[in-house]
Structure 1
Amino acid sequence: MTAVQVRVAHGTPCWVSLMTHDVERAKAFYGPLLDWSFTPGPTELGAYVRASLHGARVAGIGLAPERPDLPAEWTTYFAVDSADSASARVRDCGGTVAVGPLENGRAGRLAIAADLSGAFFGLWEGRDHLGWEVVGEPGAPVWSELVTNDEPLAAAFYGSVFQRQVVHADPSAVARGEEDATLRVEGHRVAGLRQTTDLRDGPPRWRIYFAVGDAELTVRQCAALGGSVLVGPADTPYGRVARLADPEGGRFSVVELPVLGLSPA
Structure 2
Amino acid sequence: MSYVTSNQPTGTPTWIELDVHDTRRAAEFYGALFGWEFEAGAAEAGRYTLCLLRGRPVAGLRPAAEPTAEKGGSGRWRVYIATDDCDDTAKRVVAAGGTLVEGPQDVGGQGRAALVVDPVGAEFGLWQGRGRLGCEIVNEPGSLVRNDLTTPDPGPARAFYPGVFDYTLDGNDDLPDADFSFLRRPDGHEIGGIMGVERGEPSVWKTLFEVADTDAAVARAVAAGGTAGTPSDTIYARMAEITDPFGNSFEVGARPR
Work out whether the TM-score is over 0.5. Answer: yes
Residue 62 of structure 1 corresponds to which residue in structure 2? 62
Residue 34 of structure 2 corresponds to which residue in structure 1? 34
Are the structure 2 counterparts of residues 95 and 126 from structure 1 closer, same or farther at C-alpha, using a change threshold of 3 Å?
same
Residue 252 of structure 1 corresponds to which residue in structure 2? 250
Q: Confirm or deny that 1:75 pairs with 2:78.
A: yes
**Is this contact kept in 2: 1:138–1:257, CA < 8 A?**
no
Q: Confirm or deny that 1:100 pairs with 2:103.
A: yes
Q: Confirm or deny that 1:124 pairs with 2:144.
A: no
Question: Structure 1 stretch 250-259 or stretch 30-39: which is displaced more?
Answer: 250-259
Aligned counterparts of 1:143 and 1:210: Cα–Cα separation in 2:
7
Residue 56 of structure 1 deviates from its aligned partner by: 2.1
How many residue pairs are counted as aligned between the two chains? 251
Aligned counterparts of 1:116 and 1:2: Cα–Cα separation in 2:
33
**Is this contact kept in 1: 2:80–2:127, CA < 8 A?**
yes
Aligned counterparts of 1:4 and 1:69: Cα–Cα separation in 2:
34
Greater share of strand: 1
1:164 counterpart letter in structure 2: Y
**Is this contact kept in 2: 1:2–1:56, CA < 8 A?**
no
Residue 7 of structure 1 deviates from its aligned partner by: 1.5
Residue 164 of structure 1 deviates from its aligned partner by: 2.1
Q: Residue by residue, what CA displacement relative to the aligned partner does 1:43-102 show, whole Å, maximum 9, x if unpaired?
A: xxx821111111221111110244732444310110001111111111111111111111
Q: Confirm or deny that 1:149 pairs with 2:147.
A: no
TM-score, normalised with respect to structure 2: 0.90
1:160 counterpart letter in structure 2: G
- The answer for unaligned runs of 5 or more in structure 1 is 260-265
TM-score, normalised with respect to structure 1: 0.88
Residue 152 of structure 1 deviates from its aligned partner by: 2.2
**Aligned-CA RMSD value:** 2.3
Aligned counterparts of 2:175 and 2:254: Cα–Cα separation in 1:
21
**Is this contact kept in 1: 2:2–2:138, CA < 8 A?**
no
1:80 counterpart letter in structure 2: T
Residue 40 of structure 1 deviates from its aligned partner by: 6.3
Residue 205 of structure 2 corresponds to which residue in structure 1? 206
- The answer for unaligned runs of 5 or more in structure 2 is none
Q: Residue by residue, what CA displacement relative to the aligned partner does 1:120-147 show, whole Å, maximum 9, x if unpaired?
A: 1010010011111111111010000101
1:213 counterpart letter in structure 2: A
1:162 counterpart letter in structure 2: F
Residue 12 of structure 1 corresponds to which residue in structure 2? 12
Are the structure 2 counterparts of residues 40 and 152 from structure 1 closer, same or farther at C-alpha, using a change threshold of 3 Å?
farther
Aligned partner of residue 155 in structure 1, secondary structure = helix
Residue 197 of structure 1 corresponds to which residue in structure 2? 198
**Is this contact kept in 2: 1:147–1:204, CA < 8 A?**
yes
Aligned counterparts of 2:237 and 2:230: Cα–Cα separation in 1:
12
1:34 counterpart letter in structure 2: F
Aligned counterparts of 2:51 and 2:34: Cα–Cα separation in 1:
10
